[in-house]
Structure 1
Amino acid sequence: MARPRTYDRDTVLDKAMSLFWRLGYEGAHLSALVTHTGLNRFSLYKEFGGKAGLYEAALEKFLGYLLGQYRDILTVQPLGLENIEAVLRSLQYGSEYYGCFMINTLTQRDTVPEGAYAKALAGADEIEALYFGNLVSAMARGQIASGSNVAGLGKMLQTLDQGLHIQGLAGTSDAQKDRVISAVMAGLRTGVA
């Protein structure tokens, strides 16, 4: 007869996510994961198949939360520059900023599990598509110049978004981040971006 679970899967994923987020995949050693999550090694392997499976499950949970935030802002009708500015300004660094777990995964391509990298890449692609949809609407509404390269601008916004997260890790202040966002938004409105 199988023993019943003595742990809550979501709690374990939250704890694992916080450790992976701070230390990266390679920095979060199995012994630290066992201590931090409260799982024993047997349960960790049984539930997740090991460290790689735990990382992938934690990232998947994070992506559900992150993409939900992006969808909540970037699907507000009417689509357009207001949504783009709102989502960019929603990024807050805070005193204990560890970047974005998705972007951290992308920057650790050579060390994270392949499945996790693919999930992070798909998440970044979805964010870019949300930006693209808002740019198409912004052009139709006359917020940006007719004939703008919205595919290129969508990639630029996704790159800016990722760069802002990396800048937060490098110690950029909220004030510096806000100046960058203001400059990009002004460029989009005047056709300079």
Structure 2
Amino acid sequence: MARPRGYVREEVLDKAMELFWRLGYEGAHLAALVEQTGLNRFSLYKEFGGKAGLFEATLERFLGYLIAEYRDVMTRQPMGLENIEVNLKGLEYGSQYYGCFMLNTLTQKDTVPAGAYQKAVEAAGEIEALYQANLVSAAARGQIGGKANVAGLGKMLQTLDQGLHIQGLAGTSDAQKDRVIAAMMAMLRNEQV
């Protein structure tokens, strides 16, 4: 008969996530992960298959939260420019900001496990698709031109989203972020920028 776990998997993932998020995949050494999570090496390997498996599981947990947040905002009815603006304004900044865990994973392509990188790519694609769906609705509602390049604009909004996360790491203020978002929204509405 197997021994019951002496830990809660989700709590271990949350503790490991903080370390991976702050230090990156390479910076979060196994000894630090053991100390942070409270698992011994044997349990860590048994449960996750090692550091790479733990990273993938933590990223998957984070992406579940992230995509749920995007869907919560970006699927509000009626879909359109309002959802896009609310979403962009809701991006997190602050002194304890370590960037977006998904975006950090994408920028560490050569060092993170391939499976984790692929999950981050898929999540970024889902976010882009949410932007595109809102643009389709915006066109149908007359908020933007009916002949707008929705695919191109969706990619541009995804790029802006990711760029704002990087600007948050660089110390850009909320006021600066708001000016960038206002300019983007004016451009989408075909107003003078």
Question: Please, what TM-score do these two structures have when normalized by structure 1?
Answer: 0.98
Q: What secondary structure sits across from 1:190 in the alignment? A: coil
Q: Percent identity?
A: 76
State the AA in 2 paired with 1:114: A
Counterpart CA distance in 1 for 2:136 and 2:2 is 55
Match of 1:77 in 2: 77
Find runs of 4+ consecutive structure 1 residues off by over 6 angstroms: none
- Could you report, residue by residue, the CA deviation over 1:169-193 in whole angstroms, capped at 9, with x for unpaired residues? 1111111111100100010001789
Deviation, 1:160, is 0.4
The answer on 1:49 being equivalent to 2:59 is: no
The answer on 1:5 being equivalent to 2:8 is: no
Match of 1:108 in 2: 108
Structure 1 residues 5 and 103: alpha-carbon distance in aligned structure 2, compared to 1, 3 A threshold: same
Match of 1:156 in 2: 156
Match of 1:29 in 2: 29
State the AA in 2 paired with 1:46: K
Deviation, 1:163, is 0.6
Contact 1:15/1:37 (CA < 8 Å) preserved in 2?
yes
Contact 1:145/1:191 (CA < 8 Å) preserved in 2?
no
State the AA in 2 paired with 1:151: A
Match of 1:179 in 2: 179
Query: Which runs of 5 or more residues in structure 1 are unaligned?
Result: none
Deviation, 1:129, is 0.3
Number of residue-to-residue matches in the alignment: 193
Match of 1:67 in 2: 67
Counterpart CA distance in 2 for 1:160 and 1:191 is 19
Structure 1 residues 154 and 78: alpha-carbon distance in aligned structure 2, compared to 1, 3 A threshold: same
Query: Which runs of 5 or more residues in structure 2 are unaligned?
Result: none
Worse-matched range after superposition: 169-178 or 152-161 = 169-178
Counterpart CA distance in 2 for 1:178 and 1:54 is 36
